[in-house]
Amino acid sequence: MSHSEQRVIALKEWASAIRALEEGSQILLMRKGGIVEETRSFALKENAFYLYPTYEHQRSELLKPEHRHLVEESLQDWSPEQQTASIRLYAEVTDDLEIHDQEQLNLLQGHHIWTDTFAEERLRWKKKHPLHILLLRVYILERPVDIHIEEQYIGCKSWISIPSGPVTSEMTPVLDAAEFEAMRTAALQSLQKRDIPAIKLD
């Protein structure tokens, strides 16, 4: 890699969850931080980033039955020996919500693809730290690109930097403004039954 090569930030996420975002069936992600996370907890490094698909830890039984096909579909063109990863989506964070207890999390049951058990496990892991719920406006790259899988991408971490050279800036929103705002409002209204702190985005 050239020292002069420009890099951009990407968030690692299950390929099945990325497919759900691409379909517009959900607009949120749950983050608690990776095992080798620099801070041992999740921090929002940027308000906009690319999405880098991962395959190793996703399991169909951790998704609600109606969404389990997403895991199978994501694995169709992937193998553990694969040398490249396909970048298809870009996301802008509109809200970063902190969830501290099960009652708060239950209010979001209808807004994501994961089983209640898996969501609860995410909340309990590193229980001193809140579970971050990111509400995302998602865009499909007009020309998805395959990038070489570098050693730094491997491991349980949230953030990686990828070469900016191959990534196009031309993209189309998955949902139009009205559709997105309707889903965002529905999620936020679900949480109004409890006082959910939001982190101010610059």
Q: What is the CATH number of the domain that holds 151?
A: 2.30.130.30
Lowest mean pLDDT segment, chosen from 32-41, 44-53, 77-86:
32-41
Q: Which amino acid is at 4?
A: S
User: So what's the pLDDT on residue 139?
Assistant: 96
For the chain, the domain total comes to 1
DSSP string covering 6-62: -EEEEEEEEHHHHHHHHHTS--EEEE---TT-TTSS-----SEEEEEEE-SS--GGG
SS3 141: strand
Residue 163 within any structural domain of the chain: yes
Residue 192 within any structural domain of the chain: yes
Lowest mean pLDDT segment, chosen from 23-27, 151-155, 172-176:
151-155
Residue 2 within any structural domain of the chain: no
Query: How confident is the model over 188-192, as a mean pLDDT?
Result: 88
Residue 159 within any structural domain of the chain: yes
Instruction: Please give the angle made by the CA atoms of 152, 134 and 87, to the nearest 5 degrees.
Output: 45
User: So what's the pLDDT on residue 60?
Assistant: 86
Lowest mean pLDDT segment, chosen from 20-24, 36-40, 59-63, 125-129:
36-40
| 176, pLDDT greater than 90 | yes
User: Is residue 126 exposed (0-12), middle (13-18) or buried (19+ Cβ within 10 Å)?
Assistant: middle
Residue 110 within any structural domain of the chain: yes
More confident residue, 8 or 193: 8
Residue 191 within any structural domain of the chain: yes
Structural domain for 15, as ranges? 7-199
Closest by alpha carbon to 60, among 51, 48, 72, 52? 72
Model confidence pLDDT, tens digit, residues 1-42: 444 568 889 999 999 999 999 999 999 998 875 544 444 567
Residue 96 within any structural domain of the chain: yes
Residue 1 within any structural domain of the chain: no
**pLDDT > 90 in the chain, percent:** 36
